[in-house]
């Protein structure tokens, strides 16, 4: 469990901070710990503390390989074990000091260095011992030794650590114990305390153990141990950020006005969140373990134009074609791909916004994956546009399709003699049938002289008759079903807009039914009787409309809206249908065909 912090640019924090708070990140006075998220399928974000430990150990290992100074070599061996390496060596020396004199003999000193991993000849061990035994007494004080072996810190960092220790040392005796912490360290909001995993006493003990070696813990934290711990932390940080507006004294003076360490937690965490070293970079997302802004050498306030210029400059520098040799080309290729990936992230406003959100809110682990993959796999076109275009195309297809089917039905009825004769009779009765002297619209026909005018008149008259028949059929023929006359109400767009109207009609119809026939017990009307019979027969509104009026009148005479009358009628109808089928020769053939096995079947069973 660690505290995760998200980075922002340094420009904002420089206006508020005097020191480089990379150094403060390691302060356990924060007391903030967030549960790690169990996930075996996703890479875990590396915490700032772990990353600084790794950087410190890697840096120490590299320097250890090239240094020749024995004192520096001992220091690097300690730092190679992390920030607690020097404290571990101090604990080892303290255990070896059997008489508790605080002095180390040559043999005790050598045994401690051998446990540390320092290998040298007898002469080199003696030379190193003599370096620390400056007074030539044959013994060295291990606290003096630790002070000499600690990585050097500048006065500003030392002052910062001492003031932080003074904040913890409530009694001012130079030792921080559990009683001191109870006055300044509020663990009431600690997740381990809230879920009941640990008591307040256990959490306070864990706090002190963070500054002590795993080999030994006495429950007391001295200023020497505190400085030893943070000297290791300081060794992993190369430089400070200085600004004239606020100094270290003013910073801690502000902290001292609040007795509760929660204020320190919020203040330091707020500043830490504004530093580039503190991160929750996730492998596989955006630029992986690298900061996209650092890759392009820009800040979060940089404009898109400046980002583009920086990208082009770096792309020219790291293009693989400009490098010779397989190793150089491989390095350039990797860097070029990273630069391109960073540019892809920062040039898009939405992607950049999501990336900044990840930097500012690193604890929202799964949410970052959701935002990233939602953007990556989301359709590039606005889904609303897709929906509108799709509905429009369907509506257009509906209109032209229904219009084409209706025209096809009219073309068919025009060719049927029965309908042609009926249409002609209707046209004559209405006075719209074209004649030699008048047109179909009632106007007098102009007589034309000449030999070809008679034939022309016949052709013209025939065309008018066809048009008149078609018009009468269109007006009088009640075509239903798929070939019915197109209506704007059947178009999908109109139906979607009328959905509220349909819902209102549905609610009104049922409310009216309940009020009139269930509450007031009024007799059913003809429309209601038709509705009940249609439901009993499982017919749609369109199927019911296809029935002849004679059939409907028969249903009404039988009073089929009453279930006691409908069920015997339905049984009689089913029996009649079965009797007719039994006498039907085609149905008999079908039954014989099915008894013989019906259509062939595919089977995987062995014959």
Residue 500 has a pLDDT of 93
In Å, the largest CA–CA distance within the chain is: 150
Please calculate the CA angle 499-501-507 and round it to the nearest 5 degrees. 105
**Contacting residues for 331 by C-beta, under 8 A, at least 6 apart:** 323
User: 252 falls in which pLDDT band (50, 70, 90)?
Assistant: very low
Average confidence (pLDDT) over 140-154:
69
Question: Which of the pair, 139 or 41, is modelled with greater confidence?
Answer: 139
User: With 0-12 CB in 10 A as exposed, 13-18 as middle and 19+ as buried, what is 555?
Assistant: buried
115 has pLDDT over 90: no
Task: Enumerate the domain spans of the chain.
Answer: 1-64+153-261, 67-149, 292-377, 384-492
User: 287 falls in which pLDDT band (50, 70, 90)?
Assistant: confident
259 has pLDDT over 60: no
Average confidence (pLDDT) over 109-125:
78
Within 10 angstroms of residue 116's Cβ, the number of other Cβ atoms is 17
**For residues 433 and 465, is the Cβ–Cβ distance under 8 A?**
yes
Distance CA 174, CA 520 (A): 91
Which of 524, 603, 602, 516 is closest to 561 using CA atoms?
524
Residue 393 has a pLDDT of 94
**For residues 33 and 190, is the Cβ–Cβ distance under 8 A?**
yes
Matching fold, domains 1-64+153-261 and 67-149: yes
Average confidence (pLDDT) over 515-542:
88
Superfamily for the 292-377 domain: DnaJ domain (1.10.287.110)
Distance CA 342, CA 286 (A): 7
Distance CA 345, CA 290 (A): 12
Which of 309, 253, 244 is closest to 16 using CA atoms?
244
User: 507 falls in which pLDDT band (50, 70, 90)?
Assistant: very high
| Phi, psi (deg, nearest 5) at residue 228 | -65, -40
Give pLDDT tens digits for 398-426: 889 888 888 888 888 888 888 888 888 88
Average confidence (pLDDT) over 163-169:
79
Helices and strands per DSSP (H, E), number in the chain: 30, 4
483 has pLDDT over 80: no
Question: Which of the pair, 470 or 192, is modelled with greater confidence?
Answer: 470
User: 184 falls in which pLDDT band (50, 70, 90)?
Assistant: low
Question: Which of the pair, 496 or 107, is modelled with greater confidence?
Answer: 496
Residue 68 has a pLDDT of 76
**For residues 164 and 23, is the Cβ–Cβ distance under 8 A?**
no
CA atoms within 13 A on the CB side of 115: 17
Residue 37 has a pLDDT of 36
Among left, alpha and beta (phi > 0; psi -120 to 50; other), residue 340 is alpha
Residue 51 has a pLDDT of 66
164 has pLDDT over 90: no
Low-confidence winner among 167-181, 198-212, 449-463 (lowest mean pLDDT): 449-463
* Range with the largest mean pLDDT of 131-140, 204-213, 430-439: 131-140
What sign does the dihedral 130-135-137-141 (CA atoms) show?
negative
**For residues 185 and 170, is the Cβ–Cβ distance under 8 A?**
no
Fold of the CATH domain 67-149: Recoverin; domain 1 (1.10.238)
Distance CA 494, CA 501 (A): 11
Distance CA 356, CA 583 (A): 81
Average confidence (pLDDT) over 362-378:
77
Give pLDDT tens digits for 321-344: 888 888 888 888 988 999 998 998
| Phi, psi (deg, nearest 5) at residue 559 | 55, 55
Low-confidence winner among 62-66, 213-217, 356-360 (lowest mean pLDDT): 213-217
Q: Which residue carries 């932390």 as its tokens?
A: 233
Please give the CATH number for the structural domain made up of 1-64+153-261.
1.10.238.10
Give pLDDT tens digits for 20-70: 333 333 333 333 333 333 334 444 455 555 666 677 777 777 777 777 787
Distance CA 291, CA 339 (A): 11
Crossing angle for the helix pair 85-96 and 142-149, to the nearest 10 degrees: 160
CA atoms within 13 A on the CB side of 583: 5
The chain-wide mean pLDDT, for the chain, equals 73
User: 245 falls in which pLDDT band (50, 70, 90)?
Assistant: very low
Distance CA 528, CA 524 (A): 6
Q: In the structure encoding, which two tokens stand for residue 153, read together? A: 């810190």
């Amino acid at each position: 469990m660690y505290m995760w912090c998200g980075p922002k640019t340094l420009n904002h924090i420089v206006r508020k901070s005097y020191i480089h708070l990379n150094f403060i990140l390691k302060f356990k006075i924060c007391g903030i710990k967030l549960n790690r998220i169990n996930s075996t399928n996703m890479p875990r974000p590396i915490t700032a503390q772990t990353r600084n430990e790794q950087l410190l150990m890697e840096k120490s290992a590299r320097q250890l390989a090239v240094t020749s100074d024995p004192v520096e070599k001992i220091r690097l061996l300690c730092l190679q074990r992390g920030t607690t390496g020097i404290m571990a060596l101090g604990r080892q020396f303290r255990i070896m000091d059997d008489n508790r004199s605080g002095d180390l003999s040559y043999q005790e000193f050598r045994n401690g260095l051998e446990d540390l991993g320092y290998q040298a000849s007898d002469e080199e061990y003696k030379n190193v011992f003599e370096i620390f035994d400056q007074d030539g007494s044959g013994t060295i004080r291990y606290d003096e030794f630790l002070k000499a072996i600690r990585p050097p810190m500048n006065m500003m960092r030392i002052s910062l650590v001492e003031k932080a220790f003074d904040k913890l040392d409530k009694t001012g005796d130079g030792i921080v114990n559990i009683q001191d912490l109870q006055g300044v360290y509020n663990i009431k909001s600690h997740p381990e305390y809230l879920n009941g995993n640990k008591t307040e006493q256990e959490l306070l003990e864990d706090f002190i153990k963070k500054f002590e070696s795993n080999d030994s813990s006495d429950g007391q934290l001295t200023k020497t141990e505190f400085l030893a711990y943070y000297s290791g932390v300081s060794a992993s940080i190369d430089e400070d950020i200085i600004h004239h507006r606020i100094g270290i004294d003013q910073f801690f003076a502000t902290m001292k006005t609040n007795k509760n360490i929660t204020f320190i937690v919020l203040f330091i965490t707020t500043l830490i969140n504004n530093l580039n070293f503190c991160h929750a970079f996730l492998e596989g997302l955006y630029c992986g373990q690298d900061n996209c802004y650092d890759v392009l050498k820009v800040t979060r306030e940089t404009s898109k134009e400046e980002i583009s210029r920086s990208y082009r400059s770096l792309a020219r520098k790291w293009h693989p074609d400009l490098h010779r040799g397989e190793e150089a080309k491989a390095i350039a290729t990797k860097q070029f791909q990273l630069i391109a990936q960073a540019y892809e992230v920062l040039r898009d406003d939405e992607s950049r916004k999501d990336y900044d959100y990840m930097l500012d809110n690193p604890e929202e682990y799964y949410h970052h994956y959701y935002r990233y993959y939602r953007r990556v796999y989301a359709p590039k076109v606005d889904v609303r546009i897709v929906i509108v275009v799709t509905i429009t195309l369907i509506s257009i297809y509906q209109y032209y399709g229904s219009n084409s089917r209706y025209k096809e039905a009219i073309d068919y009825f025009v060719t049927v003699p029965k309908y042609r004769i009926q249409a002609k009779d209707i046209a004559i009765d209405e006075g719209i049938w074209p004649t030699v002297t008048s047109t179909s619209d009632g106007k007098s026909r102009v007589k034309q002289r000449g030999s070809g005018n008679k034939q022309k008149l016949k052709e013209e008259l025939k065309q008018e008759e066809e048009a008149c028949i078609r018009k009468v059929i269109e007006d009088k023929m009640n075509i239903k079903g798929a070939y019915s006359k197109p209506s704007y109400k059947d178009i999908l767009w109109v139906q979607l807009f009328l959905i509220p109207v349909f819902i209102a009609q549905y609610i009104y119809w049922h409310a009216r039914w309940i009020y009139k026939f269930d509450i007031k017990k009024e007799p059913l009307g003809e429309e209601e009787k038709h509705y009940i019979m249609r439901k009993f027969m499982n017919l749609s509104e369109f199927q019911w409309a296809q029935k002849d009026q004679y059939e409907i009148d028969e249903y009404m005479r039988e009073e089929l809206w009453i279930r006691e009358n409908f069920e015997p009628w339905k049984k009689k109808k089913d029996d009649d249908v079965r009797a007719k089928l039994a006498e039907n020769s085609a149905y008999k053939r079908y039954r014989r065909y099915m008894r013989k096995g019906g259509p062939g079947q595919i089977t995987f069973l062995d014959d």
